[in-house]
Amino acid sequence: MHLATRRGTQMLYIDSVESEQTVRVSSRIGWSLPAHATAAGKVMLAELSEEQLVALYPCEQLDAPTERAPATRTALRNHLDAVRGCAVNHAESEDDVSAVGAAVRDRAGRAIAALVTTAPKSRADEAWLAATARATLRVASELTARTG
């Protein structure tokens, strides 16, 4: 599990708790990854108005780290329109990493960070996604309650 915050068009990973699984996604503390290609970033970007999104991404073409990441602002908007409380990344930022992200909010309800649970793509089937979404949303809600 990682905690990340948005810095412009990048997500900065600021904390991590690693799984005890032998095959796992290791800590990303200190990494910056493109917001539009990560579950953490998508959940944060989904909060933005169309005007804010255009200001953040003034060019229609986006720099996509993999062929699965949104390559245009229009494709990104379509992804973001589907975000309902949590966002998913299927190997969009890294070839073998899938993730589920949920927003951590301040007292005013603004998303201030994202909690993201990651796993090797080979482990991220529909059952994993559903169970992970529930757990990630629960922990993000607990963190939100502590921001007050």
Tokens linked to 145: 């309650």
pLDDT at 26: 59
Distance CA 1, CA 19 (A): 8
Domain segments of the chain: what residues? 2-146
Encode pLDDT of 14-41 as tens digits.
Answer: 977 776 665 556 567 787 899 999 999 9
pTM, two decimals, is 0.86
2-146 adopts what CATH topology?
Answer: Beta-Lactamase (3.30.450)
Strands laid side by side in the 32-34 sheet:
32-34, 10-16, 2-7, 111-120, 97-105, 86-90
Encode pLDDT of 43-96 as tens digits.
Answer: 999 999 999 999 999 999 998 888 888 999 999 999 898 887 899 888 788 778
pLDDT above 90 (res 135): yes
Dmax over Cα atoms in the chain, in whole Å? 44
Which of 114, 104, 117, 115 lies closest to 147 in space, CA to CA? 104
